[in-house]
Amino acid sequence: MRKNLYRMLVAAVLLTGVNSMANAQIKGLINRGKQAVKNEATKEAKKQVKEQGMNALTKVAGKESDYEVNGHNYTQKGTLSIKSYNPVATGMVTFTNVPSNYEEFEEVYTEFLGKTPYGTAAMMPMAMAIYGRDRAEGEKCIRLINYPSNVNSVLSQLKEKFGTSQYAPENDSYHQPYLPAAVLEGATPQNAYTPKHPYTVNMRASANKHQDMQLYDGRVMYIYMMGKGWDTEQRSVEIIQVNEGELFKVFNCPSLYTQCKNIKGTWEGLK
């Protein structure tokens, strides 16, 4: 872009010696060329300032907060926001234990993690782990944090992945009770999906920008949840907020229950 503008200026200067009658037009062309170069430089400078600002915001914003219940500790920190899209935004949630029951899960959601999009996203593997231990308790957890249109999809898939039958016995590769651990830091197929402790869910902004869903009367944002259970090492989770100030809900999350890499060894479960 800049090279073409400079060439235009040079050509205009050369023309001044060929046709003196066109001086006024040539001067106008030169002035327009100079202004175009200036505008292009300003545009590039603004772009760089914006990118630097986003990077700085990601580094300093999102102070860590914590919550404790029943001797279990939960922390969250992040810059992922439903209000605006930031391509370098991140989120992180740590927890010492999977909630012991629905009551603890509900308290953590309503009083702490459900107040942020990344906190809500991180509660999906918790809900899945609870479902693996107790179907009734787990179903209540899933219904609590998921948007109604997503509940049946999650439950039907988990029933197949976590349940056994004559068609999918416990030693069948399709049976994957370790799916909740596949998105936790440190868990890999090679170490039998044994995550670091305390458990950590790392997230970052998706390449997809936020969308206002008129049909569902809410705004949806897309989050990548990182994990070593798949070749892509990122799982897309959609989070919705219907009204500002309300708790967030999981709008869609098929990536979380998509078949992951088969385990090497025996899964010990989560605390």
Higher pLDDT, 118 or 15: 118
Model confidence at 61: pLDDT above 80:
no
For residue 58, what pLDDT is reported? 40
Of 69-73, 132-136, 171-175, 184-188, the one with minimum mean pLDDT is 171-175
Q: Which residues contact 146 (CB under 8 A, 6 or more apart)?
A: 154, 249, 250
Give the residue extent of every domain in the chain.
Answer: 2-59, 64-257
- In eight-state DSSP terms, residue 146 is B
- Contact, 237 vs 217, CB < 8 A? no
Kindly tell me if the per-residue pLDDT of 120 is higher than 80: yes
For residue 112, pLDDT over 60 is answered with yes
Residue 271 has pLDDT above 60, yes or no: yes
pTM over cut 0.85 = no
Say what the pLDDT of residue 217 is: 78
pLDDT of residue 12: 46
**Is a pLDDT exceeding 70 seen at residue 13?**
no
Is residue 198 reached through a cis peptide bond, with omega within 30 degrees of 0 on the bond before it? yes
CA Rg value for the chain = 26
Residue 50 has pLDDT above 60, yes or no: no
Kindly report the CA angle at 37 between 33 and 42, in degrees rounded to 5?
145
Cβ contacts of residue 91 below 8 Å, gap of 6+?
62, 76, 77, 78, 79, 80, 116, 117, 118, 119, 121, 122, 202, 203, 204, 223
Confidence of residue 34 (pLDDT cuts 50, 70, 90): low
Q: At 49, is the pLDDT very low, low, confident or very high (cuts 50, 70, 90)? A: very low
